[in-house]
Structure 1
Amino acid sequence: MMRLMAQTLTAMTNQTAACTVLIQNQNRNNNTLQQPPTGNADGAQIAWFDLLEKFVRLKPPQFEGSTDPLVVVKWKEYIDKILVAMRCTPVQRQQLVVFQLSGEARNWWKNEVVVAQLDENTFTYIQFCERLDARYFPATVRNKKIEEFDDVGQIRSELVDDYLDCEVNNIG
């Protein structure tokens, strides 16, 4: 059970890192894709609602907050998939993801914006994810999960060594 959990955590961490790199590369190549027209408030508002409607149609899950770090990792993975498919700008990604926060997570984000004096019109998705991870998957928890994974790997390695020793002794 622990091994499966450790493998799942590692896979999710790797997928999140890969998505982050993909998003960063896409942003460098397509930074102006789907930008709302400038100088036209009505046009920008229509573009935003069109984008929001497309996003909601893809049925992204809401995030209410969780004490289980795997919940936030899985939520981000699913949201990342949708955002990559939509080819949004980094700021649009952040705004769409914030739209999916509810309950405790929504309260946390509102407080974060006020306390840190964040400008949600320039704040990017990657910056948002860094703050989200700090809140719901802090480094101490991440390091503990890595240690658990290493412990499972060590136990597995010892079991394999014991098995091989037995087989060698049986042959000899």
Structure 2
Amino acid sequence: MAQVLHWLHGLAQAGAIPAGPAGRGAGVAAPDPDRAQAPGVQHAAAVAPRLDEVSGFEAFPRPVAGPVMTGEEHDLFWRFTKMKPPVFYGTESEDAYEFIIDCHERLHKMGAVDKYGVEFVTFQFLGDAKLWWRAYVECRPAGSPPLTWVQFYSVFLDKYVPRTLRDRRKDEFATIGQGNSSVAVYESRFHSLSRYALQLLPTEGERIRRFVKRLNTTSIVGSLTCSHWCFISGDSGACPYR
């Protein structure tokens, strides 16, 4: 009823019906605007963000995907996706370093690292990684230039491969050994951790020396494959199985 009275009052103010008791609207009292709605209650439309107001627009996140793709960018992105790049969720179980290296290898093959690398790689973000990236872009000052690949690479590693993790992996590499695991498992672990201690492996010879030093010599000969012999000796002809 209050809304009907408010509507009639609006018509009277616009001249559509007389507002006084002598006209057709006689007997219709002008409603009190303050009583047309319960105190403290606002219509949703009155408080919803408006795109034509700065304060309202700021309530929405700025787009993070960049401008619409050009023909060249679309073709390169199609080629990039055909290479089946990995996706990244930002979980602790994922190898963030391997993800960024895999993507870089594909981009390098296309010659697109510097021009489109950041956009293509961040398109592979899902879940928490996508939320982090959106928040990072939101926090950048308005009008900031796009990140270069070097800048993005540094930001990504600081987030998902922080210095504390790198130092921990470096310490693990310093003490790694075959133990009771197979040579194949030891080799995989050795190569994975060596990425965090490249300063300890200035040459391929030093890498081989460290690998051999931590082998379990009681079972070494029977478990080595041709690839292991080649890695240890640096000479494919040294494999006794050939």
User: Shared fold (TM-score greater than 0.5)?
Assistant: yes
> Identity of paired residues, percent?
25
Aligned residues: 118
Q: Which residue of 2 aligns with 1:86?
A: 110
- Say if 1:51 and 1:127 are closer, same or farther in 2 by CA, change over 3 A: same
- Say if 1:80 and 1:101 are closer, same or farther in 2 by CA, change over 3 A: same
Choose which of 63, 66, 86 in structure 1 pairs with 2:88. Answer: 63
- Higher Cα radius of gyration: 2
Would you say the 8 A contact 1:65–1:105 is kept in 2?
yes
* TM-score for the superposition, normalised by structure 2: 0.42
Choose which of 48, 63, 72 in structure 2 pairs with 1:47. Answer: 72
- Say if 1:110 and 1:73 are closer, same or farther in 2 by CA, change over 3 A: same
Alignment of 1:109-120 (within 5 A): 109-117=133-141
Cα deviation, residue 52, structure 1? 1.2
Amino acid across the alignment from 1:101: F
Q: Which residue of 2 aligns with 1:135?
A: 159
- Alpha-carbon deviations, 1:12-45, whole Å to 9, x = none? xxxxxxxxxxxxxxxxxxxxxxxxxxxxx99x62
In the aligned structure 2, how far is the partner of 1:58 from the partner of 1:88? Answer: 14
The runs of 5 or more residues in structure 1 that have no matched partner are: 1-40, 164-172
Would you say the 8 A contact 1:63–1:105 is kept in 2?
yes
Alignment of 1:5-84 (within 5 A): 45-68=70-93, 71-84=95-108
Cα deviation, residue 91, structure 1? 3.6
* TM-score for the superposition, normalised by structure 1: 0.58
The runs of 5 or more residues in structure 2 that have no matched partner are: 1-66, 180-208, 217-242
Cα deviation, residue 121, structure 1? 5.9
